[in-house]
Chains A and B, each alone.
Chain A
Amino acid sequence: EPEVTQTPSHQVTQMGQEVILRCVPISNHLYFYWYRQILGQKVEFLVSFYNNEISEKSEIFDDQFSVERPDGSNFTLKIRSTKLEDSAMYFCASSDERGAYNEQFFGPGTRLTVL
């Protein structure tokens, strides 16, 4: 069964450093998302992406965040200058052509630890 994959599973970085989190969505999906979840807390929407552009973003997704689909398979989240409070699990998700109103398939997540 197709699944969303994410790398790395765990990323440790120093405050102020840039990180790139990578995702490979399900191959025929067209809508892509990033979420974060601080340990034990709610899932927070960051951004949605369709047709090579951001379709929606939350207040959390400020100028230090960016997303890119550099090729036909990868979807990345870049955090330019990490802060301690960026430590969280970051989930990528994708959905099919029925899109934003349909179920989202989540990847296993990348645990980001900022020291």
Chain B
Amino acid sequence: GQQVMQIPQYQHVQEGEDFTTYCNSSTTLSNIQWYKQRPGGHPVFLIQLVKSGEVKKQKRLTFQFGEAKKNSSLHITATQTTDVGTYFCAGRSNYQLIWGAGTKLIIKP
């Protein structure tokens, strides 16, 4: 079946370091969404990418959608404690959102 692979599963960073998570789909996606889930919370929509090669920025967050519309990445520059949580990509194929397994961002004390 259709899958969206997301790596890494965890990333430990020092505050101020960068963080990146990658998603790769087995099929071409019509769009891809990114969500953030804080510990104990629910997924919250961050952004949607639709066009091939699209790049969008939200302050320290940069989102990319690959040329083939099969992969995407989220990059956070200079992480802060408020960035802690799990970041999920969710690729749209037909009417269903296929979710990646998430990357948990952990800030080292």
Contact = CB atoms under 8 A, between A and B. Distances in A.
A115 interface: no
A41 B101 CA distance: 7
Interface string A31-64: 0000000000111110010000001101100000
Given A58-B96, A91-B43, A108-B42, A103 B48 contact: yes
**Consensus secondary structure, chain B interface:** strand
A101 B31 contact: yes
B74 to A, nearest CB: 16
B102 interface: yes
A50 to B, nearest CB: 9
Given A42-B88, A43-B88, A101-B31, A106 B42 contact: yes
Interface residues of A, number: 21
A70 B12 CA distance: 46
B85 interface: no
Given A42-B99, A101-B30, A56 B94 contact: yes
Given A43-B88, A106-B42, A109-B42, 17 more contacts: A42-B101, A43-B35, A45-B97, A45-B98, A45-B99, A55-B95, A56-B94, A58-B96, A59-B1, A101-B92, A102-B48, A103-B33, A103-B45, A104-B97, A106-B43, A106-B44, A108-B41
Interface of A: 41-45, 48, 55-56, 58-59, 91, 100-109
The 8 closest A-B CB pairs, nearest first, are A103-B45, A42-B101, A106-B42, A100-B95, A43-B99, A56-B95, A106-B43, A56-B96
Interface of B: 1, 30-31, 33, 35, 37, 41-45, 48, 88, 90, 92, 94-102
